[in-house]
Structure 1
């Protein structure tokens, strides 16, 4: 288990960052390494994002040195989504949950033993992890993508024809504060979250994936009147502060997982930004 710690950034200070500093603060470049669990602990709402690629043996969810707790989920909850064609399984206190590509598992506070494994080591699962602090126990539940309710948004004319699947939210898998879902852009559509919004009551993390090696997403961030961008590759994560927009356009269509945590548990809590406010 490898854990990196990232601290919160003041938006006034962020105006002074060059491209390299911007990436070091907000872009997570190498989460998915075979045989490893890699995580980033963010001081934005204490959210942990991570990637796990089990091969010849299961990988245990643990990091007592960073969290200073007896076990990882002692005071936390976690959402786990398999982004690989390789089937995965998550063993929670001896109970096994198999995850196909794009299936989601919620594991609640208080579960001591969580292990991540692949059904076939030659075609390993690639688990994306998002964890937030929790004040209450909710049951561990799996939601296959076939059972998630799709919401169609956007249009071809706007280049943002997309389908949103909500997994962990107030009307889906129950949690304390973690919300998690997935957005799939249709072929020939490249824009997400435009016009943009901010939500000052919670942070957000974006994992971009299902991208070709040479494909890129230009992720836009910053305060609405002070926007910046980062060039993002496949399976990289952007940490989005509460004060920042989070929008992107790709060289091809792509898929992304959004995870949010903070004060407000309402999915629709967002402050929309008008196009003439963007600079």
Structure 2
């Protein structure tokens, strides 16, 4: 499991491109036949990618660095499938997770096994109580149509794990898909000092990239992000981006509260 330590904004202001990427960009989450973990000390979240090989199942291991018998002894997670519809088995119960669907796995779970042809992204945070495993389809939850074509940010936002029918301790998670011809996400930008967030960009064409904006609103930096790469966004940082083509991304949050609209706006005219 790769470690990413927390950074204060005054440290980030002086970082060069290579160090920014080393600290905040997760480039290699998805490897055939493996589970890859990245541990962020921002709210102690874990990002993981699981890609079962064709004809084989892939068991979710417990990283030794957690010093726990099971990954979910003290944690919960949302798992979103960015591959074809596939099965996930949780403590002997099998669920079919659709493309862009979500499976919530609660504290106390003992075993999770993935099946091909799925391509699974996991976002985990510490949990203080147990909630049941719950399957959410890609068009269930709260679906919002946002933005305008004339501002290049027409998009569909799906709140799949969001303080509603699916209970969680602190993880919130969903999928945003930009319409063809739209490229901007989360602009006007914002911060939310009560929780951190991570973005996984996917459906990014091989020849395309997303320019992800980060940093304090008055001291922005950027990361150039390719397909199936993730960005760790501290609570004090904006998290916005523009692509060279339309794309999708998974947003996932953990921290002080679960109020989706608890944001501190950063108008574009105030950013530097």
TM-score range with shorter-chain normalisation? over 0.9
Match of 2:77 in 1: 78
Match of 1:25 in 2: 23
Separation in structure 2 between the aligned mates of residue 253 and residue 135 of structure 1, nearest angstrom:
38
2:85 equivalent among 77, 87, 93: 87
Q: 1:126, CA displacement in angstroms?
A: 0.5
Separation in structure 2 between the aligned mates of residue 237 and residue 244 of structure 1, nearest angstrom:
15
Structure 1 residue 268 corresponds to structure 2 residue 248: no
Match of 2:34 in 1: 36
Match of 1:254 in 2: 247
CA contact (8 A) 1:92 1:115 kept: yes
CA contact (8 A) 2:198 2:233 kept: yes
2:127 equivalent among 123, 134, 143: 134
Name stretches of at least 5 consecutive residues in structure 2 with no aligned partner.
Answer: none
Task: Please list the CA deviations of residues 1-41 of structure 1 after superposition, one character each: whole Å capped at 9, or x if unmatched.
Answer: xx111100011011110000000000000101100000101
Match of 1:158 in 2: 151
Name stretches of at least 5 consecutive residues in structure 1 with no aligned partner.
Answer: 119-123
Match of 1:108 in 2: 106
Match of 1:216 in 2: 209
1:229 equivalent among 216, 219, 222: 222
- Normalised TM-score (structure 1): 0.95
Q: 1:64, CA displacement in angstroms?
A: 4.4
Separation in structure 1 between the aligned mates of residue 243 and residue 250 of structure 2, nearest angstrom:
15
Match of 1:9 in 2: 7
Deviates more, 1:200-209 or 1:64-73: 64-73
Alignment size in residue pairs: 271
SS at match of 2:150: coil
CA contact (8 A) 1:87 1:99 kept: yes
Match of 1:65 in 2: 64
Q: 1:208, CA displacement in angstroms?
A: 0.4
SS at match of 1:269: coil
RMSD of aligned Cα (Å): 0.9
Structure 1 residue 196 corresponds to structure 2 residue 189: yes
- Normalised TM-score (structure 2): 0.98
CA contact (8 A) 1:64 1:70 kept: no
